[in-house]
Amino acid sequence: MKANDFLSGAVLAALGLFFVATGKDLGLGRLNDPGSGFLIFWVGWALTALATGILGQAWRAAGDLGLAAAWQGADWRKLGYVVVVLALHAYAMPVLGFVLATAVLMVVLFKTVEPQPWPTALIGAVASTGLAWLLFVKALGTQLPVGALGIG
């Protein structure tokens, strides 16, 4: 395992616990009548469980090196960059709509975080945005922002 897997696991566990708290605040409802926070709550627990597995593996891989070695090699600039880009995505989504904002987000991430060639970035962005749209709109019946351009 890489040294920054510990950081990834910790961030994902914190995000999962945030989802759990948010889902609980939104209301869980009942199994036959789920509330608006039901799915978020359970996805949060699943994310937390998977992140705990990553943390455990990173902890064992660190072995005798100690906790400080697990944090070596973490690229804090990339983490900050991704957080800023995701915040901009959230801000742009009501204006541009889910499809356009997410496609732009994915192209930016594919080209900047771990730079990919243009064909890979474009195909990856279209594929991941399309799959997310199919999952949320068609499979789950979720309403996503259409935006001012009417694409959504």
Residue the block writes with tokens 């209301």: 27
Tell me, yes or no, whether 106 and 149 share the same domain.
yes
Answer yes or no: is pLDDT of 31 > 80.
no
Tell me, yes or no, whether 111 and 60 share the same domain.
no
Give the closest residue to 151 by CA, choosing from 130, 120, 131, 135. 130
Tell me, yes or no, whether 130 and 141 share the same domain.
yes
Tell me, yes or no, whether 47 and 9 share the same domain.
yes
| 109: amino acid identity, one letter | L
Tell me, yes or no, whether 65 and 99 share the same domain.
no
Torsion angle in degrees (nearest 10) through CA of 111, 113, 115, 117: -40
Tell me, yes or no, whether 70 and 80 share the same domain.
no
Confidence class for position 112, pLDDT limits 50, 70, 90: very high
Give the closest residue to 4 by CA, choosing from 76, 52, 64. 76
The percent of residues in the chain predicted with pLDDT above 70, rounded, is: 90
**Comparing 131 with 136, which gets the higher pLDDT?**
131
pLDDT of residue 130: 93
Range of the domain at 88: 75-152
Please state, in angstroms and rounded to a whole number, the distance separating the CA atoms of residues 25 and 97. 26
Tell me, yes or no, whether 45 and 97 share the same domain.
no
Confidence class for position 117, pLDDT limits 50, 70, 90: very high
| Global pTM value | 0.56
Give the closest residue to 67 by CA, choosing from 111, 5, 135. 5
Q: What are the helix and strand counts (H, E) for the chain?
A: 6, 2
